[in-house]
Structure 1
Amino acid sequence: MADDNPYVTDPALDFRDVEALGEADARAQAERLREAVRFHDYRYYVLNDPVIGDRAYDRLFERLRELEDAFDLEREGSPTQRVGGEPVDELGTVEHVAPLFSIDSSGDAADVREFDRRVRRDLGGADVAYVCEPKFDGLSVEVVYVDGRYERAATRGDGETGEDVTENVRTIESVPQRLRGDHPDVLVVRGEVYIPRDAFQQYNRERVERGDDPFANPRNAAAGTLRQLDPSVTAERPLDCFFYDVLAAWDADASGDGGSGDDGGDDAVRAAWNGSGTNVEALLDALRERSSASGGGLGAGIDGLDTHWGEVGRFPEWGLKTNDRDRRVADVEAAIDYRDALRTEREELNYEIDGTVVKVDDRAQCERLGTTARHYRWAYAYKFPARTEVTTITDVVVQVGRTGRLTPVALLEPVEVGGVTVSRASLHNPEEIDELGVNVGDEVRIERAGDVIPYVDEVVEKRSEGTFDFPESCPVCGSDVERDGPIAFCTGGLACDAQLVHALAYFTDVLDIEGVGEAAAEQLVEAGLVADDVADLYDVEVETLAELSGWGETSARNLRAELDAARHPPLGDFLAAIGIPEVGPIVAADLAAHFGDVDAFLDAERDDYEAVEGVGPTVAEHIAEFRDNERNRRVIERLRDESRLGEPDAPEMTEEGDELAGETYVFTGSVEGWTRDELQELVERHGATATTSVSSNTDCLVVGSNPGASKREDATEHDVPELDADAFFERLAERGIDADAP
């Protein structure tokens, strides 16, 4: 770090307009900003000792991005690249420079002592010191630096190869893009990607508020995030990383002294080395061969890499984050004491651990001990017992459902209940909260209703004051909350984004419109493309949709084809899809058969609804209230507009046959001259069953033009035959069925 860099201590934040700078001045300022941002990242993420505030850091970072955008500056290695690169179709695989073995484990101290006995026996009775560290419950990764530059990252995979997550790991703030200080020319390190507990709880809170299922535990969240195909999604999630092992290291100035015992492997590495102009893959291939030939031979001649404890000391010098609970101990009994002490501190840590790792400190001893086919012989994991049933409430989130019902959900420290890890539990309603007397911070017992749905059974230890204060306004839209007995409702209707998201996902699901699940519905609402009600979906242009992250023109056109194919649904499907409380597909079909068209349904009296088979007084009241709501009437009229959904088809009385009795059909894509519902009605008239999802019970998937991918994938998985439209109608003709287009 240059002493004269003006952006390190008390940086001046009044920058000249970008337009007033020449390119040379812009490049010089950008380079100093990059240097300063890397320094501040190091102080914050590695040393946990920042020298400027968040606002100042954000302004420096934003200024750097402004300069890079305005002058189209080279961004390789720039801190701004942490925002994420272009999405990929799938994650590739790469071969590790050195194998990433797993670690044998046990929760029994006797097994740890037996590990120590084997180590000392295999080392001929030599004295052995150990390095102890927390056993992180995250995702192991290999990270490669060449000439100090971040080059590659991969998951552990099978130990020999892993998934290429280079662009995703690049977004993690604690993974430096450039190493600091006097680093080796090539450095390959192992780290653990994780999500801090406080960030995990906040992220789960946001998911539950959106109506999504929360992640079961931080490890699942980290693994799912790291494997995202869109790095910009990874960048938005709070990943962090600890480093704890050198897998391979090489330095041109420190190698070549014959100390590594690699029989010429170092010469091959040297031949591939050319500083910043190195062919990285050739270099890593040579390093891989060197490591394999020497049985390790890590970091010959590089200061500090002859012990694990030395690595712990060097990592921060290079800008790599380590854990402050690491300890060097003299013997196995001290290692056992370390684990017991760490277990008492477990709940205070801001990251999940499930035990401790005990490593032989001396690297030469590690190489003598070697590995089995799967495990390091020089390391052992002493695990904690699993958390069971009793845990702590970390937060209470009020979730807004499709009908506006508010459901309180307790977010928990992950706990094992009946062999399943649980991170949330239902609190049912405000009355239940009052009866339990429960609040954030309380220790509670978790049960699983019917061995499936977790709920809070009782407060084991009261650690808070009072009970959770149920909100009087909707946490999403701010509308008033009304009570109906023990149940609370948001009065915002579709003006509430949470209800709109659920309503959109439900609407497209009932009408069998592929391509709009909960995640896509949320994306459409957040982008403002569906702003008022579900009818907005029919106004979204293909070009606009294609610009959204994760879509593209093909996906956008497929959704348009799905919408067009479902433009004239049966009246029963329409009434089910618009989201009338307590009106599902069966009741909606009964209403359609009774009233025959939308106008008759809208003009009916409350008693007329109750006269329908299957509709009681409560459901009739829900229908009448829904119909009388001015906003709901407007949505129905918008959907009936020919430019959007079109007039729903009234049910028809048709003669039925049994030519297809016992068969089950699923349709995907569009068939010229037919809507999806007409095709389903066709096979049902002749005794078949038409469903919207493929299973092992499906006899045939009929594939039209622009088909959805998910149904075809399911068909492959369940070995269900596919028929194109011509083959489908030929099949009907063979059964004596006249299938002229309606």
Structure 2
Amino acid sequence: MSDEQDRDDDPSRDADPDDEPARYADPAENPYVREPPIEFTDVAELDAATAREQAERLRAAIREHDYRYYVEAYPIVSDAAYDALFDRLVALEEAFDLPTEDSPTRRVGGEPVAELEAVEHTAPMLSIDQTTDPDDVREFDDRVRRELAESEVTVAGDAIEYVCEPKFDGLSVEVVYENGEYVRAATRGDGTTGDDVTEQVATIRAVPGRLRGAPDDVPDILAVRGEVYIPRDAFQELNRERQERGEEPFANPRNAAAGTLRQLDPTVVADRPLSVFFFDVLEWTGATPGDDSGGGGPRERPATHWGELDALEGFGLRRNDRTELVTDIEDAIDYRDRTAEVRDELAYEIDGIVIKVNDLAACETLGTTSRSYRWAFAYKFPPRTETTTVEEIVVQVGRTGRLTPVALLDPVDVGGVTVSRATLHNPAEIETLNVNVGDRVRVYRAGDVIPYIPAVVEKRSEGAYEFPEACPVCDSPVERDGPLAYCTGGLGCPAQLERAIEHWARRDALDVEGLGPETVEQLRAAGLVESLPDLYRLDREDLAALDGWGETSAENLLAELEASRNPPLPEFLAALGIPDVGAATARNLAAHFGTLDALLAASEADLQAVEDVGETVAAEIHEFLDGERNRETIAELRELGVDPQPYETGAESGGGEFEGLTFVFTGALSVPRSEAQAVVERHGGNATGSVSGNTDYLVVGEDPGRSKRRDAEEHSVETIDEAAFASLLADHGIEWPPES
């Protein structure tokens, strides 16, 4: 569990927790809700029926604890007890091969996805008109009253009510439930379609995998709109950890949330402290609109927005407790002013409030424009700006080689926070602002941890700051890529070294266990690794002498490195960290050129002949492989015995058993999916990342994604598990799993 506590002080929270109703598990019937045991009978002593029953109770209890902690912010068990229950459930599921489709254990994340696929929303996710002027808010109210009067619509309660809620500064998502089960999530995108982030959102503990209530008590289809965010305290801790690892800190919580949700690896998302508030219903299928007062059961869609919020809370979906219902637009304006006074005390970032007409029939009458709702209006807070002087400009080198200019400022108070530095983003921004040392500038901070400069207010220098032509860390030439600047030192730049080593050791690269961020940082701090080839010069005695190490740890790491000396060519190419070259492109390059030497001799035109390699990617690959320092690093690795093995195609190996067949893989297999794809390709087949009408087999591993299975059903693609895949290989005399 995280340390997030988002609810403000509320006297009702002092009530006896035994008086709180159960959401997913009844404490009187489930022993794992209150004062649960933290020691269990050995799994080996259980029979299958007992294990299955215990697992079901644990799942229900963990859902209950997740709801009380992440939604109500009122836990009833200690973190240690929760962890014990969770670990027990994992042990039962693994020992008895129990299904985990809707289990809380899926919160730890599944197999990485190949890409974020586009999905269409159940209903448009539109924008909201906004202002910082109260007169515009009053004009909105006048228009609403005028148009409703002209339409002669009957408003519930014979009065126009408004729902007022904080305007969250996060990332909007659509979350869809079918018969109470979580099935899909997507980013807002262009409002009509968004990125499929089903697997990523599934790791957020405030998003229930199953709605509260019996199947007959929830809509057949419920699509809701929410805002994914990172709490302030958790964001500060996340940035502190990134800086300790030498990574660039996120500029603000919103960017961090957005970047996290678009990660292709759900396990990365699971490690980030994301949370969510739900605030709108996009679709409610299963009954007709009803009365808020009851009489039709929760399957009936309420007649008001306020009623919908109550219903969402009843389903276990987290709503914000600062939402208010008002009957006058002046009360809405007052709500905004009161909210502005406490915004810095909230556990989450907001940049204003949203005012919505409460009556849904009235909303239907008011309608929408092509881009926004006509029944909602955002009343934003004024931006926080101050004026100060640029004392110095420094250029930082990130772990990707990107150069970021930072202005060091004469310290100034901005919205109660002392600001002494601000990002200038990139060299193009410097040129646009025409900013230099000595200029008076406006500093903008609206929830940003790293403020920025929107304008020069008094020019006191000559011209703009001259961006360096050489990397300030390794002195390699700096290259521009549009508005951005990058160090060309690549594998030879110390600022990029830690990232390069971590990339080298990744599971979908050379899979060197034990080379995580902390270990890499420790090796760097001890002066043992100054370049990538230094990994293969490590000495057992030096490693064993490190803090927390010993002979066994040293030998284990050296054994892992020794095992990586003869990697398959695709894995070697993926490990180098070539821009835009992931596992799939690395396989295509290896299959096309066959050997590393052939690839190193390739021209840009040669590279463009490779499948899925266009002009831009070909130029980036050629630039990387032709770079002097990268060439030196590759040559040094080979001198130290790192020998990438030539890639054998089906034809070269006398195979071709799968010629004309296309495979797609989803879920976790007993080996990395890249190895399974490589086996298919070595024997003449195709391995792609998405299902289409040309796909012959979808191979499904553990914890598979839903989108590929849905696509397989739509295209009548045969779906097989890993055992059937192994049998198919055996029929052709192909060993599975493959030897390393």
**TM-score bracket, shorter-length normalisation:** 0.5 to 0.7
| Structure 1 stretches lacking a partner, 5+ long | 261-298, 392-399, 403-419, 461-504, 564-667, 681-699, 724-742
Match in the other structure for 2:450? none
Larger Rg, first or second structure (1 or 2)? 1
**CA distance 1:709–1:389, change in 2 (3 Å):** farther
After TM superposition, the structure 1 = structure 2 runs for residues 625-704 of structure 1, keeping only pairs within 5 Å, are 701=604
Match in the other structure for 2:262? 227
What is the distance in 2 between the residues matched to 1:186 and 1:168?
A: 21
C-alpha deviation, 1:517, in angstroms: 3.5
> Of the candidates 90, 94, 103, which is equivalent to residue 69 of structure 1?
94
Asked if residue 309 in structure 1 is aligned to residue 299 in structure 2, the reply is no
Q: Which moved more, 1:117-126 or 1:377-386?
A: 117-126
CA RMSD of aligned residues (A): 4.9
The one-letter amino acid paired with 2:336 is R
CA contact (8 A) 2:503 2:575 kept: no
Asked if residue 509 in structure 1 is aligned to residue 492 in structure 2, the reply is yes
Match in the other structure for 1:140? 172
Asked if residue 90 in structure 1 is aligned to residue 115 in structure 2, the reply is yes
Asked if residue 248 in structure 1 is aligned to residue 231 in structure 2, the reply is no
**CA distance 1:83–1:706, change in 2 (3 Å):** farther
The one-letter amino acid paired with 1:366 is C
Once the two structures are superposed, what CA deviation does each residue of 1:538-592 show, in whole Å capped at 9, x if it has no partner? 48999969999xxx966522167899xxxxxxxxxxxxxxxxxxxxxxxxxxxxx
Normalising by structure 2, what TM-score?
A: 0.56
CA contact (8 A) 1:514 1:562 kept: no
What is the distance in 2 between the residues matched to 1:322 and 1:453?
A: 46
CA contact (8 A) 1:389 1:446 kept: no
The one-letter amino acid paired with 1:236 is D
What is the distance in 2 between the residues matched to 1:346 and 1:18?
A: 49
What is the distance in 2 between the residues matched to 1:145 and 1:302?
A: 13
C-alpha deviation, 1:210, in angstroms: 1.8
**CA distance 1:145–1:562, change in 2 (3 Å):** closer
What is the distance in 2 between the residues matched to 1:50 and 1:301?
A: 26
Give SS of 1:123's match: helix
**CA distance 1:547–1:51, change in 2 (3 Å):** farther
What is the distance in 1 between the residues matched to 2:381 and 2:536?
A: 54
Match in the other structure for 2:81? 56
Asked if residue 388 in structure 1 is aligned to residue 353 in structure 2, the reply is no
**CA distance 1:338–1:717, change in 2 (3 Å):** farther
What is the distance in 2 between the residues matched to 1:545 and 1:153?
A: 40
CA contact (8 A) 1:390 1:443 kept: no
**CA distance 1:675–1:34, change in 2 (3 Å):** closer
**CA distance 1:672–1:341, change in 2 (3 Å):** closer
C-alpha deviation, 1:361, in angstroms: 0.3
Give SS of 2:571's match: helix
C-alpha deviation, 1:162, in angstroms: 1.0
Give SS of 2:163's match: strand
> Of the candidates 312, 315, 319, which is equivalent to residue 318 of structure 1?
315
Once the two structures are superposed, what CA deviation does each residue of 1:430-487 show, in whole Å capped at 9, x if it has no partner? xx9xxx899xx963455678777999x99x9xxxxxxxxxxxxxxxxxxxxxxxxxxx
CA contact (8 A) 2:218 2:298 kept: no
Match in the other structure for 2:184? 152
C-alpha deviation, 1:115, in angstroms: 1.1
CA contact (8 A) 1:228 1:234 kept: yes
CA contact (8 A) 2:608 2:615 kept: no
> Of the candidates 236, 246, 249, which is equivalent to residue 271 of structure 2?
236
**CA distance 1:562–1:142, change in 2 (3 Å):** closer
Match in the other structure for 1:195? 230
The one-letter amino acid paired with 1:316 is E
**CA distance 1:130–1:20, change in 2 (3 Å):** same
Once the two structures are superposed, what CA deviation does each residue of 1:637-692 show, in whole Å capped at 9, x if it has no partner? xxxxxxxxxxxxxxxxxxxxxxxxxxxxxxx999877996xx89xxxxxxxxxxxx
Give SS of 2:385's match: coil
Match in the other structure for 1:520? 503
What is the distance in 2 between the residues matched to 1:708 and 1:121?
A: 60
**CA distance 1:510–1:208, change in 2 (3 Å):** closer
The one-letter amino acid paired with 1:54 is D
| Structure 2 stretches lacking a partner, 5+ long | 1-24, 389-395, 399-403, 425-429, 444-487, 507-514, 539-556, 579-591, 627-740
Give SS of 1:124's match: helix
Match in the other structure for 1:171? 203
The one-letter amino acid paired with 2:199 is E
Match in the other structure for 1:19? 44
Match in the other structure for 1:373? 370
Match in the other structure for 2:148? 123
What is the distance in 2 between the residues matched to 1:15 and 1:226?
A: 36
Give SS of 1:55's match: helix
Match in the other structure for 2:63? 38
CA contact (8 A) 1:447 1:454 kept: no
After TM superposition, the structure 1 = structure 2 runs for residues 351-370 of structure 1, keeping only pairs within 5 Å, are 351-370=348-367
Match in the other structure for 1:292? none
C-alpha deviation, 1:426, in angstroms: 6.2
What is the distance in 1 between the residues matched to 2:437 and 2:71?
A: 39
C-alpha deviation, 1:151, in angstroms: 0.6
Give SS of 1:11's match: coil
Asked if residue 100 in structure 1 is aligned to residue 116 in structure 2, the reply is no
CA contact (8 A) 2:173 2:226 kept: yes
The one-letter amino acid paired with 1:164 is D
**CA distance 1:536–1:32, change in 2 (3 Å):** farther
CA contact (8 A) 2:500 2:577 kept: no
**CA distance 1:144–1:545, change in 2 (3 Å):** farther
Give SS of 2:166's match: strand
